[in-house]
Amino acid sequence: MTVTLNPALDLTYAVDELRPHTTHRVRAVHERPGGKGLNVASVLHAQGEAVLATGLLGRATGSAVQALVDAAGLPSAFAPIAGETRRTVTIADGADATGLWEPGPVVGGAEWDGFVAHYRRLLDDARVVALSGSLPRGLPPDAYAILIRAARARGVPTVLDTSGEPLRLGLAAGPDLAKPNAEELATLLGPGAGPAAVRGLVAAGCGAVVVSRGPRGLLAVSGAGAWEAAPPAAVTGNPTGAGDACVAALARGLRDRTPWPELLADAVALSAAAVAAPVAGAVDTAHYRDLRARIAVTPVPQTEEHNPC
Amino acid sequence: MTVTLNPALDLTYAVDELRPHTTHRVRAVHERPGGKGLNVASVLHAQGEAVLATGLLGRATGSAVQALVDAAGLPSAFAPIAGETRRTVTIADGADATGLWEPGPVVGGAEWDGFVAHYRRLLDDARVVALSGSLPRGLPPDAYAILIRAARARGVPTVLDTSGEPLRLGLAAGPDLAKPNAEELATLLGPGAGPAAVRGLVAAGCGAVVVSRGPRGLLAVSGAGAWEAAPPAAVTGNPTGAGDACVAALARGLRDRTPWPELLADAVALSAAAVAAPVAGAVDTAHYRDLRARIAVTPVPQTEEHNPC
C-alpha cells in the first residue's frame, strides 16, 4: 500500500520558448497523476505487484487525478477532502523546464482523523506500507509518525520517504526503513554527518536507512551491516522518479524479506531503469532486467569513515 | 442566451517573479470560468438579467468550469463533449502577466450536430443570443453562421463577437449585430477601411456593426445612421472583459429594442465599468450608474471619411 497525502495533477506544457510577459500557445499538454507515493504505486503496478494507492484527494482536481489513476488501472482507495488537490505545471521549452507548484489544500483536523481511521482499515489487507512525499498544510508534522505507529501495531512494515520535520518525527516512530536522499540526510544530521550518524539513526529505532546519492548509487545501513551499490555505468535520462522507484523496490523487498545485498541491488537497478524511462512512475523493464544481473553490492566496513552524503 | 463554444478554466498564479528554467512556489491560485460568452453571461447575471449560458464542456476541466458556473449561481445548459475543455494559465508576477493557452479539445462532427439540435431547443426560450469567442478545433468555420441562421428562423436576434474566418462567414449569415474590435475589423476589411466599408457590411445584411476602439470608445453603424461615444475620461484598470461587457449591453438593448444612441451610451458605460472591475466578467455597478448618465453620443455624418479603425 502506498500513501500519498499531498498528490497532484502534474501538467506538462510544451512551448517553443518561454518568454516572460508574453502569451504562449501550448503545443501539447501532458497530464499525469503526481505525487511520490503515486509514482511508487505506478512502478509496482507496472512490475505486476498487487498495490493499493491511498491518500487524500479533493474537488475537481482531485477527481481529475482519480480519473487518471483509474485509467491507468491502478487500484486505489483515496479519502475525499474539501480542499482542492494541487496542480503542478511544468513548462518544457527546447532549453529546460520551468516549474510552478500550487500551494495545495489545507486539510482539516476532522479530515485527518477520518483518514487515519480509513488507513487503519486498509492496513488489514496490507503487507507493507510506503509513506512518501510532503505533507499538505493543516496536517500535524508527526502525521507519518502516527501512520508508522498504526502500521507497527498491526505488524505491517513501513518505508518512509520524506524530508524535514516530517522525516525527523517519522524516524522517531521507528519505521522499518527510511530512504532520505543525501541532501535530506545532510539537513537532518548536519552537513558533516558520516555513516556513524546514520548508524545512530538505526540504533535509535529506525530498522534501516537507505541513502540515495544520485549517480553514486545507494548506501544501506541496517542493524546487520552496511552496503553500497551503484549502477555499472552512469544512466542518462529523467532523474525524477528514481527515488520513488527505489522506494518501490525497497517496499517489495521488505514484504518478501529479501536479504540486504540482494534488496539493495534490486533498488539500484529499478532506480536506474526509472531514470532511463521518459516519465516519473514508469520503468524501462528490459533495462531493469539487464541491470539487475550486473550490479555489485559492496559491504561497507563499520570502521570506514565514509561520508554517506 | 450566451454561446461559448470554446470555454476555458482560467487559472491565475501569483508568483514573486517568473524566472524561466527555475521552480516557483505559487503564492495564490485564482480560478474562474473563462471564455468570452461566459463573461457576457456573468455581466448580465450580475446586472440582474435572466440569462442562460450554453456551449460545450468536456471531461474533468469541463466539470471544473461547470462547478464554478454553478457556484456563481449562473444558469447554464452546456452540452458535453468527449474532449477535455482547455485551461489557460496566467502567471502574474509583480511586473506583468505571462499567458499559457492550452490548445483545447477537438470537437467531433456528431458532437457539433448534437449541439446544434440542443441549441435549437434552447432557442424556444431565448429572446436574444450572444455568440462569442473562438471556435474549438473540429468545428466548421461557418459554425456561427449556422447558429445565426437557426436563431433568425425563430425570430431571435443575435450578437456576434468573434474574429477571422468565423467572423467573415458569420457576417454573411446576417446577424442583427456584430461587434468586432478595431483590429479584427482591419483584418476583415483591410487596414485602410473607413466607415463606408462598415456601411457596406450593414448594406450586405448585418443589422448593425459596433466597433470597439479601446479608450477611443465605440462606433455604431446601422441602417438608420452612425454614432460614436466614449467614456468621459480614460478608465484605468483591467481591459480584459470590456468587449464582453459591451456585448452584454448590446444584447440586452437588442432584446429591449433600445434606440441606438441610448444603447450605445449603455454599452460604453458598461464596458468602462468592466475595465474598472478587477476581473473579466465583473462590473463596478456604482461606476456604471455614474458613467451611464454622463456619456454623450455623437452622430457621425454619412459623408465623414472617419476611419473606424
Could you read off the pLDDT of A96-109 as tens digits, one per residue?
999 999 999 999 99
Please report the pLDDT score of residue B216 as a whole number. 85
Q: How many structural domains does chain B have?
A: 1
pLDDT band at B309 (very low <50, low <70, confident <90, very high): very low
**CB contact (8 A) between residue A13 and residue B100:** yes
* Best residue in A19, A32, A100 for a mutation probing chain B (most B CBs within 10 Å): A100
Which of B201 and B62 is assigned the larger pLDDT? Answer: B62
**CB contact (8 A) between residue A24 and residue B102:** no
Q: Is residue A306 scored above 60 in pLDDT?
A: no
The residue count of chain B comes to: 309
Q: Which domain holds residue B267?
A: 2-7+35-84+104-299
Please report the pLDDT score of residue B203 as a whole number. 85
Query: Structure pTM?
Result: 0.88
Could you read off the pLDDT of A227-279 as tens digits, one per residue?
999 998 877 777 788 999 999 999 999 999 999 999 999 999 999 999 888 77
Please report the pLDDT score of residue B74 as a whole number. 98
Quick check: is B96 in a domain?
Answer: no
* Residue B210, phi then psi, degrees to nearest 5: -115, 120
Could you read off the pLDDT of B234-245 as tens digits, one per residue?
777 777 788 999
Catalytic positions of B, written as ranges: 244
Please report the pLDDT score of residue A241 as a whole number. 85
Q: In this structure, what C-alpha cell is assigned to residue B192?
A: 485602410
Out of B18, B23, B101, name the one closest to residue A26 (CB): B101
Please report the pLDDT score of residue B61 as a whole number. 94
Which of A212 and B304 is assigned the larger pLDDT? Answer: A212
Please report the pLDDT score of residue A216 as a whole number. 85
Which letter does DSSP use for residue B214 in this model? Answer: G
For range A12-39, the mean pLDDT? 96
Would you say the C-alpha torsion A59, A60, A62, A67 has a positive or negative sign? positive
Please report the pLDDT score of residue A304 as a whole number. 52
Lowest-confidence segment of A60-74, A158-172, B124-138, B208-222 by average pLDDT: B208-222
Percent of chain B surpassing pLDDT 90: 76
Closest residue, chain B, to A102 (C-alpha)? B26
Residue that the C-alpha cell 543525501 belongs to: A182
Q: In this structure, what C-alpha cell is assigned to residue B15?
A: 508568483
Q: Who's near B6: CB < 8 A, 6+ residues apart?
A: B35, B55, B56, B86, B104, B133, B134, B135, B136
| ipTM for the predicted complex | 0.86
Binding-site residues on chain A for chain B (CB distance < 8 A): 11, 13, 15, 18-29, 59-61, 63-64, 67, 87, 89, 91, 93, 95-103
Binding-site residues on chain B for chain A (CB distance < 8 A): 11, 13, 15, 18-29, 59-61, 63-64, 67, 87, 89, 91, 93, 95-103
Residue B180 and residue B211 in contact, taking contact as beta carbons nearer than 8 Å: yes
The partner residues of A97 in beta bridges, in order of sequence, read A92
Please report the pLDDT score of residue A282 as a whole number. 79
Residue A232 and residue A265 in contact, taking contact as beta carbons nearer than 8 Å: no
Percent of chain A surpassing pLDDT 90: 76
Quick check: is B17 in a domain?
Answer: no
Please report the pLDDT score of residue B199 as a whole number. 87
Distance from the A27 Cα atom to the nearest Cα atom in chain B, whole angstroms: 7
Would you say the C-alpha torsion A235, A240, A243, A245 has a positive or negative sign? negative
Quick check: is B23 in a domain?
Answer: no
Q: In this structure, what C-alpha cell is assigned to residue A143?
A: 502525521
Q: Is residue B306 scored above 70 in pLDDT?
A: no
Quick check: is B19 in a domain?
Answer: no
SS3 B265: helix
For range A138-154, the mean pLDDT? 98
* Best residue in B11, B29, B68 for a mutation probing chain A (most A CBs within 10 Å): B29
Quick check: is A305 in a domain?
Answer: no
The partner residues of A219 in beta bridges, in order of sequence, read A211, A228
Instruction: Enumerate the residues of chain B whose CB falls inside 8 A of the CB of residue A95.
Output: 20-21
Residue B19 and residue A95 in contact, taking contact as beta carbons nearer than 8 Å: no
CATH number at residue A253: 3.40.1190.20
Which residues in B102-241 belong to E strands, given as ranges?
Answer: 129-132, 158-161, 177-178, 208-212, 218-222, 225-229
Which letter does DSSP use for residue A294 in this model? Answer: T
> For this structure, is A266 an active site residue?
no
Rounded to whole angstroms, the Cα distance separating A111 from B27 reads 24
**CB contact (8 A) between residue B100 and residue A63:** no
**Distance from first CA to last CA of chain B, Å, rounded?**
29
Instruction: Enumerate the residues of chain A whose CB falls inside 8 A of the CB of residue B15.
Output: 100
Which letter does DSSP use for residue B77 in this model? Answer: -
pLDDT band at A191 (very low <50, low <70, confident <90, very high): confident
Quick check: is B75 in a domain?
Answer: yes
Residue B87 and residue B113 in contact, taking contact as beta carbons nearer than 8 Å: no
Please report the pLDDT score of residue A309 as a whole number. 43
Closest residue, chain A, to B12 (C-alpha)? A102
Q: Is residue B302 scored above 90 in pLDDT?
A: no
Distance from the A119 Cα atom to the nearest Cα atom in chain B, whole angstroms: 27
Could you read off the pLDDT of A81-92 as tens digits, one per residue?
999 999 999 999
Quick check: is A97 in a domain?
Answer: no
Could you read off the pLDDT of B165-177 as tens digits, one per residue?
999 999 999 999 9
**CB contact (8 A) between residue A21 and residue B101:** no
Quick check: is A235 in a domain?
Answer: yes
Could you read off the pLDDT of B14-43 as tens digits, one per residue?
999 999 999 999 999 999 999 999 999 999
Q: Is residue B307 scored above 60 in pLDDT?
A: no
* Residue B42, phi then psi, degrees to nearest 5: -65, -40
For range B267-276, the mean pLDDT? 92
Q: In this structure, what C-alpha cell is assigned to residue B231?
A: 467614456
Residue that the C-alpha cell 480560478 belongs to: B31
Q: Is residue B305 scored above 60 in pLDDT?
A: no
- Mean pLDDT across chain A: 92
pLDDT band at B146 (very low <50, low <70, confident <90, very high): very high
Lowest-confidence segment of A84-93, B247-256, B295-304 by average pLDDT: B295-304
Q: Is residue B100 scored above 90 in pLDDT?
A: yes
Out of A21, A24, A59, name the one closest to residue B101 (CB): A24
Residue that the C-alpha cell 531503469 belongs to: A273
Please report the pLDDT score of residue B215 as a whole number. 80
* Residue B7, phi then psi, degrees to nearest 5: -70, 175
Q: Which listed residue (A142, A176, A244, A284) is catalytic?
A: A244
Please report the pLDDT score of residue A164 as a whole number. 94
Residue among B71, B66, B68 nearest B54 (CA): B66
Which letter does DSSP use for residue B235 in this model? Answer: P
For range A271-296, the mean pLDDT? 87
Rounded to whole angstroms, the Cα distance separating A74 from A66 reads 10
Instruction: Enumerate the residues of chain B whose CB falls inside 8 A of the CB of residue A100.
Output: 13, 15, 23-24, 26, 89, 91
